[in-house]
Amino acid sequence: MKFLDQAKVFVKSGAGGAGCVSFHRAKFIEFGGPDGGDGGRGGDVVIECVEGLNTLIDYRYQQHFKAKIGVHGMGRNRAGARGADAVLKVPAGTQIFDEEGETLIADLTEVGQRVVLFQGGNGGFGNAHFKSATNQAPRHANPGQPAKEAWIILRLKLIADAGLIGMPNAGKSTFLAATTAAKPKIADYPFTTLHPGLGVVRAIGREFVLADIPGLIEGAHDGHGLGDRFLGHVERCRVLLHLVDGTSEHAGKAYKLVRSEIEAYGAGLADKPEIVALSKADALDPETRKDQLAKLKRAAKKTPLVLSAASGEGVETALTELLKIIDAARAAEPKPVSAEAVIEPVETGWRP
């Protein structure tokens, strides 16, 4: 299945049904009076966060979603039926923006959340609604309220506990494959990873989600290489594991390059807890390892880990350090009121 993390779709709520103008007709009843029913309400546009999805690929093939209009009122005081809702199902971590991509309308982070983006129009009153002592035969009814429509942007930001960052060919995909059941593409050329990947790590009897982000190069924030668009997927991570290729010319410069791109991106990524590791240690001789480790330590201003996903060296240590930070972050988060609490639908109040 292909990965798609952004989609632009057109949504439209249902218009309300029109009220009916009708008069009762029956034998032996000379003045039956008005009996026109009210129109039905139009369907809502609802966005629902569901389980089992991790991409927006469905919205590549269908971009228009329209709720049904309400059924018109009928004689004999029969009200019209309500129109069916248009429900867009999205994975956890999906954000909803306006057409310009600047205004955040809603952020769906938990399975079960429902956002009523547009309410359907109310149905119009039939002529039976307007009868009174002074107007016993009204000959008018209300039309239904019009529909609301707009283009919106769905943007997915993966929800993971830890994120892998680094330059292309730093060993991120190899680390993901060695620690999870994920099977990312691994090759000896840059930009092997074109889309973010997720895997579940099982270590020390516990689990956490690890995200692999495509590599960054100099000028990524200006669109060079694959750009920095995929950095949005680590905005929700609790900790970053920064892998620096030990076989590069200068490990310290490689580290600073990626850090500068993260700082240029913003969104609080530069302030996240970071674990620095010198990767591909199995390909280094003792002298080169010592030299690269010293350069990386000076650049990062902390003692880096040494690991090799191919040989398994330092992998357990890295996972243990990640779990320490993840556990601390989880403990600091507010506890839910109840495990069975129902997430109520959210009214956005947004109008195009």
Contacts of 38 (CB under 8 A, 6+ apart): 19, 20, 73, 79, 80, 123, 124, 125, 126, 129
Residue 264 sits at φ, ψ, to 5 deg, of -70, -30
What residue numbers does the annotated binding site for GTP cover? 166-173, 191-195, 212-215, 279-282, 308-310
Residue 285 sits at φ, ψ, to 5 deg, of -80, 165
Q: Give all strands (DSSP E) within 157-281, no chain letters.
A: 162-165, 197-203, 206-212, 239-245, 274-279
Cα–Cα distance for residue pair 284/282, rounded to 1 Å:
6
- Evaluated on CA atoms 211, 178, 327, 317, the torsion sign reads negative
What residue numbers does the annotated binding site cover? 166-173, 191-195, 212-215, 279-282, 308-310
**211, two tokens:** 């995200």
Pairing state of beta strands 206-212 and 274-279? unpaired
What residue numbers does the annotated binding site for Mg(2+) cover? 173, 193
Q: With H, G, I as helix, E, B as strand and everything else as coil, classify residue 332.
A: helix
